Amino acid sequence: MPNLSTYAVFLATAMVLLAIPGPAVLYVVTRSIEMGRAGGLSSCAGITTGTVVHVALATAGLSSLILASALAFDAVKYVGAAYLVLLGVRRLLTRKEAALEGERAPRTRRRAYSQGVVVNLTNPKTIVFIFAFVPQFVDVHAGHVWLQVLILGLSFAALGFLSDSGYALLAGTVADRLRGSGAVARFERWFGGSVLIGLGVVAAVWSPATGRSS
């Protein structure tokens, strides 16, 4: 178990970092505007699932492998960037009628969840944060390093879900009240598509040396 004082500092630091909107927040807000609170929360669940996968990899000791290999890191980064751009382009090309018709389909929330998983699995910011930030709070001398990484990582994932859910509920509530307007529908399509494409570009140019833009 992590030292209680260290754990408290970790939680406080994580909450400060999570309070700063990043790609995951923008993605969740975009989905919430398009699909309402249910779609936004599904996206949050997908984002959190991706975080948990990274936590599992870090616990298994794969962090050094990914961060030490520029090729592996770049591959993950560009796959994620391309996926975001693809989602954005598809959103921009989707006609309003088709979007409204498919909006209430039962599979929509599942799609939002699965897209959220992929987005965060290939998010270089999440990779570097889990693999580089979390270990700084691990006490090697206390033993059970894997357990400490697991507890810290899952705590971060839980805080992230709560933070993202807040954005989803707020954005989804506002969007639900305005839904039905043609102007709002066009705004949803262009805003959502543009944000997703922008996130893809940001992810592509993000550098772990600066820790910016993702």
What is the structure's pLDDT at 76?
63
Residue 107 tokens read as 């599979």
Would you give per-residue pLDDT tens digits along the chain (214 residues)?
Answer: 667 888 888 898 888 777 766 677 888 888 888 888 888 999 999 999 999 999 998 888 765 665 567 676 677 667 767 877 887 787 778 654 444 444 443 357 888 899 899 888 887 777 777 876 787 787 777 777 788 889 999 999 999 999 999 989 988 887 766 555 556 556 666 776 777 787 677 667 755 444 444 3
Q: Where are the domains of the chain?
A: 23-205
What is the structure's pLDDT at 65?
60
Radius of gyration of the chain (CA): 18
What is the structure's pLDDT at 100?
43
For 82, counting Cβ atoms within 10 Å of its Cβ (0-12 exposed, 13-18 middle, 19+ buried), the class is: middle
d(CA 150, CA 52): 9
Q: Which residues pair with 207 in a beta bridge?
A: 212
Asked if residue 111 lies in contact with residue 101, where contact means CB atoms within 8 angstroms, the answer is: no
Asked if residue 28 lies in contact with residue 170, where contact means CB atoms within 8 angstroms, the answer is: no
Residue 131 tokens read as 């693999």
What is the structure's pLDDT at 55?
92
